[in-house]
Amino acid sequence: MLAILIELNGVAGTSTVVVDKTLLKITSTDGRLMTSPDLIGAVLEAVDETGQQVNVRIDAVMRDPSDPEGDVWLHRFSVPDRYTGGWREMCDPGPDGVASGFPIAGVWTSDGRHERGPGLTITCTSGVIGKCVRIGYKPWKEVGSISLWDYHQACVRAVRADYGGDGIGHTRPGTLIEIFDHIGIHSPEPDPLGPPLRFEAAWGPAGAVCVGKTRIPELLPLNKLPERYPHLAGKIGSLCSEAVDALIFNRS
């Protein structure tokens, strides 16, 4: 679930609401600065991806113990339960059992573009946007002089198997993939616990740069890819490799 923050209830005299990495920062009209840990119990008025208004309550905030840099703050969010009249967890647990989320700057379009500018997005750690942040592709960060904004976007496209960059994924939950890059965040490693993964595709922020094989051929056969996405014609099969100019690469 994605939610775009528009207002904050329960905090009197709110002047500005911004996000710093994964922390909400609220400046009151009298100049007081509050961050996410100060906002436990506050209710966000938000809009979900279908355009429906939803209230999101902050129940708890803690640093992500899996993040050595300390940038990621895990928020426990809850939303109204229309069946019980109470509140329920907003986020489903991810593979590590964590049922949390966090805000990040920018908004996401229906075709999967992450746009800078006013507004922020709430993402769950079980969702693709949150997963890519937690594995190291933090859109606010730089590696040397290289911004990771586009790397995070490319990671989201790769995990979703969004070959055409139109927001349509071609994968299934639980499908094993390996993400790697050439800037030192993740290097390709053999999987000692199962059959070796095969190179799938190279990725940029607008989708696949080239595709060696599709992840789930039953969903989208490789030979049908250029028909659906003409810009990938001549960029499939053996013509695609880890040597092409791209940001993210994956095996599956």
pLDDT (tens place) for every residue of the chain, 252 residues total: 444 444 444 555 555 788 999 999 988 777 788 899 999 998 888 877 777 888 899 999 999 999 999 999 999 999 999 899 999 999 999 888 889 999 999 988 889 999 987 778 899 999 999 999 999 999 999 999 999 999 999 999 999 999 999 999 999 998 999 999 999 999 987 655 566 789 999 999 999 999 999 999 999 999 999 999 999 999 999 999 999 999 999 999
11 lies in the same domain as 130: yes
Torsion of CA 28, 32, 37, 42, to 10 degrees: -30
Q: Residue 194: give the domain boundaries.
A: 150-252
Query: Do residue 127 and residue 160 come from a single domain?
Result: no
Is residue 63 a part of any domain in this protein?
yes
Last residue within a domain, chosen from 134, 169, 194 = 134
Domains contained in the chain, number: 2
Question: Same domain for 23 and 130?
Answer: yes
| Residue 197 and residue 90 share a domain | no
Q: Are residues 52 and 127 in the same domain?
A: yes
98 within domain boundaries: yes
Flag whether 142 is in a domain: no
CA 47 to chain centre: 17
Domain end position, chosen among 85, 104, 134: 134
Residue 181's pLDDT is 97
Assess if residue 168 is contained within a domain. Answer: yes
Please indicate, yes or no, whether residues 26 and 94 belong to a single structural domain of this protein: yes
Q: Give the model's pLDDT for residue 7.
A: 45
Pull the structure tokens for residue 236: 């499939």
75, 60 contact by CB (below 8 A): yes
203 and 87 within one domain: no
Name the one residue in this structure whose structure tokens are 């094993």: 176
**Is 103 domain-assigned?**
yes
Within-domain flag for 174? yes
Please check whether residues 90 and 199 belong to one and the same domain: no
Q: Within a 10 A sphere around the Cβ of 233, how many other Cβ atoms?
A: 10
pLDDT at 195: 67
Of the candidates 87, 103, 134, which is a domain's last residue? 134
